[in-house]
């Protein structure tokens, strides 16, 4: 059995590179459409999660700044 393949999905840039790699594999017939769709869907879920985390971080910072301004 060949070694396992891994995609790095920690950052939006990682996800973009992985999506490009998957698209090329699909175009070259190295990956079936069903598997490609499933992997790209997983990439989308990871990207959405990263975006939600980033938005929450920004919201937390804004709330902290508002609270600081109220204390003045």
Residue 49, domain member (yes or no): yes
Q: Could you give the CA distance from residue 72 to residue 68 in angstroms, rounded to a whole number?
A: 7
Instruction: Single out the residue of 8, 1, 5, 13 nearest to residue 42, CA to CA.
Output: 8
Residue 3: inside a domain: no
User: Per the domain annotation, does 5 fall within a domain?
Assistant: no
Instruction: Establish if 2 belongs to a structural domain.
Output: no
Residues of the chain with pLDDT > 70, as a percent, come to 99
Into how many domains does the chain fold?
Answer: 1
Query: pLDDT per residue over 37-61, tens digit each?
Result: 999 999 999 999 999 999 999 999 9
Domain range for 27? 12-71
Distance between CA atoms of residues 61 and 44, nearest Å: 26
Residue 1 pLDDT: 55
Structure confidence at residue 5 (pLDDT): 84
Average pLDDT in the chain: 94
Q: Are 1 and 10 in contact (CB under 8 A)?
A: no
């Amino acid at each position: 059995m060949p070694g396992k393949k891994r995609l790095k999905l920690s950052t939006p840039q990682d996800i973009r590179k992985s999506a490009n790699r998957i698209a090329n594999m699909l175009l070259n017939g190295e990956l079936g459409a069903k598997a490609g769709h499933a992997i790209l869907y997983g990439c989308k879920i990871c990207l959405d999660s990263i975006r939600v985390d980033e938005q929450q971080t920004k919201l937390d910072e804004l709330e902290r700044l508002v609270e600081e301004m109220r204390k003045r």
